[in-house]
Structure 1
Amino acid sequence: MFADLGHFSVRDLQISFSTITLPSLLIVYCGQAAYLTKHPEHVGDTFYKSIPDPLYWPTFVVAVAASIIASQAMISGAFSIISQSLTLGCFPRVKVVHTSTEYEGQVYIPEINYMLMIACVAVTIGFRTTENIGHAYGIAIVTVMVITTCMVTLIMLVIWKTNILWIALFCVFFGTIETIYLSSVLYKFFEGGYLPLVFSLILMTIMGIWHYVHQKKYEFEINNKVSKEYIKQLGEDPRINRAPGIGLLYSELVQGIPPIFSHFISSIPSIHSVLVFVSIKKLPISKVTPEERFLFRHVEPREYRMFRCVVRYIIKDFMGTPVEFEQQLVEKLKEFIRHEYFIAEGEAVAVENPPQSSNILINQEKDKGSSRRVVFVEETLNQLNQSCRSSASIQSFNEAKSNNSLSGIVSAAPPILVAEEEIQFVQKVKDEGIIYLLGEAEVIAKSDSSYTKRMIVDYGYNFLRRNFRQGEKVMMIPQTRLLRVGMTFEI
């Protein structure tokens, strides 16, 4: 319910609850109470018995429509909760379809929809009567009220920092009323009230197992990151070749190189001409600008052409097709290379011997912001190209490579020309093809682990991993350009 309310603004909720919901509920409940004072024998079906005969069928239609709307709110709320759990790493991978580009949180999850359908059919067959289902509904609603009071009390204490007297008054007043209501419906536990608790237990078990193993796996990757010395030793290994194209190696790590990389090298002694370690992160914020979506860094040594890329999305963002994702990533990589050389080094080279109009451009750049800087750099690049085209050249990575080993770029050319060559090289290898590198990690418990841990990791987690979506399906990786290497993690 609350996940569904999150689709609307605070003002909308305040107006609708204050002017429509609350007055309507008060009028209905007062009317039913007045009716029961005269007809106490109708307590089992007060709602329909209290309706005047001319308004019975219109009210019946409205009641059915309201139940449909309430079921849709429950379904969309379940989708939102699962989607947010995925962002926090607390639920197995499922397909999330964003149905709206304007409103945040409007999602559809096919797997969860089918599970809800099966659960509804099973509950209907098992309970048979609406009375037993009503018992389950009553316990669920009152429990939600108690949990809400506890959470609001915590928010008042930690976030709002309200006076402790007001907090105590709020907690005692509402907590007492809701606890009395809860005690009055607990006697229906064995008559159907256990249903929401069983569903909650199943869901919490799935989330707990997945989050526990996911966290342990992440800690394993952090503790077993590939060292910088290992990367440098690759340049001295004559068995390592540079394959054409761009390799995208997916990893959860934002810093450091995952251990699956060394496993790739040991299994396939080859590295792509450009290698990018991609980490996709979902952020709990309202907006990520296109300029800040792809964050690049060099992996030293720079001449090996290895990069780290953190791709940042918000919950409602859609990655797009693989072609769109690849195009965006390559373009941002070019901008990163251009920024690294043009801004950090290109201006310094140009300022040492500025052209006649450079002072004007520099002043304009100071006055009008960073957009002028690009114009200045491009004009400087053209002048340097004319002066250095005949006297300087840049040796590409593959030309500098000897004996099939990794080596550095040896060039005495100006930095701006180096950047231009690097950008052209990236475009060239992009045209040769992009390959996705994905580790097929199997997680098992250590031999000395407890029986409970082995049950959770070896059976519970691996069952969920095999029966939910795999990583390549979630990221829509083309099977024809996917390279997977298996690895076993012991936690």
Structure 2
Amino acid sequence: MDPPFSPDTFSNGLKKETWRNTLLFSFQSIGIVYGRVSTAPLYVFGTIPTRGEHGALRSKDFQSQETVYELFSFVFWTLSIVSLVKYVLIVLRADDKGEGGTFALYSLLCRHAKVGLLPNERNANEEVACNEGIGTKVESRARRAIQNQKSSHYLMLILALFGACMMIGDGVLTPAISVLSASSGLQRWLSHMSHHFSSSPKRQEKISEEFKKYIPVPSACAILICLFTLQHYGTRKIGFIFAPVIILWLLFIGGVGLYNIIHCDPHIFYAISPVYVYRFVRNIDRESWSSLGSILLCVAGSEAMFADLGHFSKKSIKITFICFIYPILLLCYAGQAAFISKNLYAIEGFNHLTASVPDSISHIFVVLSLLASAVGSQATITASFSIINQCLALGCFPRVKVIHTSDKKRGQVYIPDVNWLLMILSLTITIGFHNVLQIAYAAGLAIVSGMLVTTCLMSLVIALYWERSLLVSACFLIFFGFIEIMYLSACMLNFHKGAWYLVVLLVLFLTSMLAWHYGTMKKYEFDIQNKVSTEWLTELGPSLGVSRVPGIGFIYTDIVTGIPAFFTHFITNLPAFHQVLVFVSFKSLPVPYVPPSRRYLIGRVGDKDYKIFRCIARFGYCERVRDSDDFEQQIIQLIGEFISLEENDSESLTSVEGRMIVVGKPSQDGNALIPIHSTSSANNETTTLSPSVDSSKRGSAPVQRKKVRFTLPESSPKMRESVREELQELIDARESGTAYFLGQSHLAARDGSNLLKKLLIMIYVILDKNSREPHVALNIPHAALVEVGMVYNI
């Protein structure tokens, strides 16, 4: 069930967060945010190898009670320093108006340190900054140095994309390792139960081998397929079961941990002393150092606390972790370590969480572990959807279909294409490795790499956004960076054992993102360089053989000044354009949300008699770029509002192009134009699609769509006659018909280009041909759509 207030309501300060809402958010966050970190006990100790190549106990791992104490000490201090201190107490404070994650930190730097490389026009960005009260920061030496170094801008963008790739990679690996580990627990439980029904040792061994062969991988694949198939229902529908499952799971493993502490080793909490960490490091060797890659998994999911911040409030996430998640996880790990310390020479698998559960309740553990592993996997899959949606909005990911599964929580999205890709990759790694240990090596590398990116960007935020001294920023970077580099080195020791798969995923996603961003930037630069001035269009007239035809023409373009090259190409070959022209631009800005009252910029192109307008629609990286099917109706209403407001703004009547008026989202009644709704056939080009009609079904049987007409309000002495006449001309143009002009660009590398440039453009062309249509073309009737093709030689 959705909360009574959306999370962004609190971040905007519109409503005060009450304790009732805080508790409600805390309850919901347990299932969404903490699913991953709560299921980590399934494989933290269990992925530390206990035996060497020939079956003998290894020289260091679990050799003695002292070694177990040292490993638990590492778990305690890693969970306390990384999850509690770094993320809960520090990083959560660096939210971007209630949004978190790698791109939230990057967007803060883009706005406050001017390091952005995304294709957004300066006037659109500065307008939002002024409206939100973001003043210009005092120019410090560090800020000037970073702003003047173009290479640092590229480095920050690559860091943000690298962090996004690590989050997506984690979304591939987490379902595989969680579900496979739970399935392995099921296999162990079934093997154990078979011993009670068979007295023959040979028969027991044969049954165990059959279970190892046929239980873990097939059951894991079945659960993964079901998990990814359910994604289209969205978090809103399937999320209500998450919190109860994780709460039951945490209470269960916390109780088991407390039981093992009392019955096995009540002195396990002595290992909290950092002296044991020192002893471990003092006697370090290659085998024991590589085991730290498994210990690192105890903080898996800490990044989700920051990445999923937009769904909840900071207070609820902090309270939940400090008061519930953190103490229970410590009980669980302490209990498991206590059990291991008393069973060092047991059969293989004694370090798995399953072994520490009493036989009388082992069947309950098996069921809860399977449910909890699926819930924990859901958290990283949802985070992958969110990060890809942000990359898509900022022009760093190929066009894919994004479905918003909730009208109240704008951050909840489902991306079908990405969902099936994640499923295929998760199944591939599950079947290919069929070993929790190998997948854990890759997961550990993904976790620590993502944390390093956050640490680097966070240190820049401390210096450039919080405006703290460089010493404070350097201390943050050195302290947490040292810990994470230590774990990174441990993960790299296991690179050949499975961590290499993460590099394959990194190359796949990062190359696609960089190629798409490169192609998008080059197209944008080509449009800027080849645009023509507005005078070129306004000076065209009948004497030059150019005529104006009745109707309205919408020209969709990425540039916000001048005339795009594809439209000049069209006019040159077909010398005619409509009575009213509207240049429409969509701009995704480095902010999470743009208020509806500040979303649209409306201005004129040329003199008032030319009837040429420009509309810039601005969206945040967490919003839908086009969230309604009646967008053109809104534009016409906005132009009507602009015409009525313009008479009171004498500066806009005489200023050059670029002077625009902020117009809020039009009301249903309208102040200048009053919409009248009626129905018409689907073939009428002046209609817009009903929201209930799927764009993929166009061209099938005729459907009834919503046709919107406009009328003027009753005579008012406040409205000048000239304004009423222009509004009436706008209505008449709408009645005459509407056409939509889109540029269809084809990128090609120039002769003599280097190999890297040719490769990036080739990848971009392949992605462009196989990606979704541009969002502006999805709901445009084919009869009214005009695509103008051009070859861009880059």
TM normalised by structure 1 equals 0.80
2:549 and 2:369 map into 1 onto residues whose CA distance is 66
Which of 684, 694, 717 is 1:379 aligned to?
717
Equivalent positions of 1:162-181 (< 5 A) are 162=468, 166-181=472-487
2:436 and 2:475 map into 1 onto residues whose CA distance is 38
Uncovered stretches (5+) of structure 1, i.e. residues with no partner: 346-370, 382-415
Partner of 1:97: 403
Which of 742, 751, 767 is 1:447 aligned to?
751
- Deviation of 1:164 (Å): 5.2
Which of 785, 790, 793 is 1:482 aligned to?
785
Partner of 2:626: 319
Q: Return the letter of the residue paired with 2:358.
A: P
Partner of 2:734: 430
- Tell me, yes or no, if the aligned pair for 1:93 and 1:474 is still in contact at 8 Å: no
Partner of 1:61: 367
Equivalent positions of 1:258-407 (< 5 A) are 258-285=564-591, 287-314=593-620, 315-317=622-624, 319-322=626-629, 324-341=630-647, 344=650, 378-381=716-719
Matched, 1:38 2:337: no
- Deviation of 1:205 (Å): 0.6
Partner of 2:148: none
Partner of 2:295: none
Uncovered stretches (5+) of structure 2, i.e. residues with no partner: 1-303, 652-670, 672-712
1:342 and 1:152 map into 2 onto residues whose CA distance is 46
Partner of 1:403: none
- Deviation of 1:447 (Å): 1.7
- Deviation of 1:90 (Å): 0.9
- Tell me, yes or no, if the aligned pair for 2:588 and 2:625 is still in contact at 8 Å: no
Q: Return the letter of the residue paired with 1:379.
A: P
More off after superposition, 126-135 vs 304-313:
126-135
Percent identity of equivalent pairs: 40
2:345 and 2:499 map into 1 onto residues whose CA distance is 25
Partner of 1:418: 722
Q: Return the letter of the residue paired with 2:492.
A: L
1:246 and 1:84 map into 2 onto residues whose CA distance is 33
- Tell me, yes or no, if the aligned pair for 2:535 and 2:606 is still in contact at 8 Å: no
1:171-221 Cα offsets, whole Å, 9 max, x none, are: 444333333333223222122111222212211111111111211211111
Query: Secondary structure of the equivalent of 1:145?
Result: helix
- Deviation of 1:435 (Å): 1.1
1:147 and 1:242 map into 2 onto residues whose CA distance is 55
1:148 and 1:472 map into 2 onto residues whose CA distance is 31
Q: Return the letter of the residue paired with 2:578.
A: H
- Deviation of 1:418 (Å): 2.1
What count of residue pairs does the alignment treat as equivalent?
Answer: 428
Matched, 1:48 2:354: yes
Query: Secondary structure of the equivalent of 1:41?
Result: coil
Query: Secondary structure of the equivalent of 1:252?
Result: coil
Query: Secondary structure of the equivalent of 1:255?
Result: coil
Q: Return the letter of the residue paired with 1:200.
A: L
Partner of 1:351: none
Which of 293, 307, 324 is 1:20 aligned to?
324
- Deviation of 1:318 (Å): 6.3
Partner of 1:463: 766
Aligned Cα RMSD in Å? Answer: 2.6
1:315-367 Cα offsets, whole Å, 9 max, x none, are: 32463443x1121111111111122236659xxxxxxxxxxxxxxxxxxxxxx
Query: Secondary structure of the equivalent of 2:647?
Result: helix
- Tell me, yes or no, if the aligned pair for 1:91 and 1:211 is still in contact at 8 Å: yes
Query: Secondary structure of the equivalent of 1:426?
Result: helix
- Deviation of 1:167 (Å): 4.6
Q: Return the letter of the residue paired with 2:791.
A: T
1:39 and 1:444 map into 2 onto residues whose CA distance is 66
- Tell me, yes or no, if the aligned pair for 2:600 and 2:617 is still in contact at 8 Å: yes
- Tell me, yes or no, if the aligned pair for 1:106 and 1:316 is still in contact at 8 Å: no
Q: Return the letter of the residue paired with 2:787.
A: R
Higher normalized contact order (CA 8 Å, seq sep 6+, divided by chain length):
2
1:52 and 1:149 map into 2 onto residues whose CA distance is 41
Matched, 1:87 2:393: yes
Which of 431, 453, 471 is 1:147 aligned to?
453
Query: Secondary structure of the equivalent of 1:379?
Result: coil
- Evaluate the alpha carbon distance shift between residue 305 and residue 473 of structure 1 in structure 2; reply closer, same or farther with a 3 A threshold: closer
1:419 and 1:427 map into 2 onto residues whose CA distance is 12
TM normalised by structure 2 equals 0.51
- Tell me, yes or no, if the aligned pair for 2:518 and 2:760 is still in contact at 8 Å: no
Matched, 1:10 2:348: no
2:451 and 2:759 map into 1 onto residues whose CA distance is 35
1:268 and 1:433 map into 2 onto residues whose CA distance is 18
- Evaluate the alpha carbon distance shift between residue 163 and residue 294 of structure 1 in structure 2; reply closer, same or farther with a 3 A threshold: closer
